[in-house]
Amino acid sequence: MDSEPPVVPSETSRPSLLSPNGDECKNGDSPSTANSHTDVDSAKTENDSLGDGCKGPGVMSKRQMKKLIKQKQWEDQRELRKQKRKEKRQKRKLVRQAQVTQNQEDHLNKRTRREIRPSNMRLVIDCSFDDLMALRDVKKLNKQIRRCYAENRRAIHPVQLYLTSHGGQLKSNMEEYDKGWINWKDIHIKSEHYKDIMKHEDLVYLTSDSPEVLHELDEAKAYIIGGLVDHNHHKGITYKQALELGIAHAQLPLGSFVKMNTRKVLAVNHVFEIILAFLEKKDWKEAFFSVLPQRKGAVPIEEASEAPADVSSTQEDGEESDSESETEDDVTQIDSIDNDDKNDS
């Protein structure tokens, strides 16, 4: 009788081998081999959870340590960041407020410029005394002229400003230190003498030596201011010139409103500014006290006690006029005023 062939167990019928920890071994693996696979996977999972470079449970990696330090620093600086944010908000608020203020000022300036009503009156700075001055005094005169120009440019009622007999040391000094004068606006700079370009009957020389007192301004006239810084060396020279030329002369009504500790001789820019102030205020007293420097000891005539001795001029030897300090920034001011006009136009 033929024997039956041996039965070969199928793949599925083979008994599964269990590893010591109860896991089923993979085909062809012994329990010990299966156990090694499990250990590797477990170690890998543990390392992944701890991070790179971890040597065991409870030990932090460098990366984790850095992250923790940064987190602590972030927490420690919370109040500092809050304060900085507050300061930034305050700064932005101040910037906005400053911008609003600047816009309001710009609007006011533009409106004021639109309200300007130029005067037809001529104010002439007579520069014919150039050869009587030392260079340092010519430089002072140049500064006073710059002051006159700047004040006229921002005045409510600007006058027709003239420089006559312009040349010599004054012109050279302006070309060397103040090249922008060639582009000045609303000013007439002439090399000729004033008597050669204006009518004789229109001329009035303003001089403190004149016995005549000026009470009103006539816009049809041309009022002349002597462009001279002489330190008391040439007393009465402007009055003498007016007499020689046979033209009208007068002094400002200073003595009617002001008592001063010095002689009633004013710097060129002070005379100019007083006239501009009178055109605006229509009041000599207000005009004088809005311009006169404190060092002259000016007080209202009704408040003055015993009149002090007339002991000094406006500019003694070695003394700088008040206009020296006032005109240091005039070049910048002139540029600013001229630029404002460009923007308005």
Q: Quick one: pLDDT at residue 265?
A: 75
Same domain, 84 and 216: no
What pTM value is reported for the model? 0.60
Same domain, 97 and 210: no
Supply the range of the domain harboring residue 129.
118-328
Does the active-site annotation cover 29? no
Q: Report, in this order, helix, strand and coil percent for the chain, each rounded to 5.
A: 50, 10, 40
Same domain, 106 and 137: no
Residue 69 within any structural domain of the chain:
no
Same domain, 208 and 147: yes
Residue 169 pLDDT level (bands cut at 50, 70, 90): very high
Burial of 20 (0-12, 13-18, 19+ CB in 10 A): exposed
Same domain, 209 and 231: yes
Domain end, chosen from 84, 112, 140, is at 112
Residue 305 pLDDT level (bands cut at 50, 70, 90): low
Domain tally, the chain: 2
Same domain, 89 and 148: no
Same domain, 106 and 177: no
Q: Share the mean pLDDT of the chain.
A: 77
Which residue in this structure is represented by tokens 């002259």?
296
Q: Kindly name the residue from 126, 130, 137, 230 that is annotated as catalytic.
A: 230
Residue 221 within any structural domain of the chain:
yes
Residue 143 within any structural domain of the chain:
yes
Least trusted range by pLDDT, from 5-19, 241-255, 287-301: 5-19
Give the model confidence (pLDDT) of 75-106 as tens digits: 888 888 888 899 998 888 888 888 877 777 76
Determine contact, residues 166/190, Cβ cutoff 8 Å: yes
Determine contact, residues 194/222, Cβ cutoff 8 Å: yes
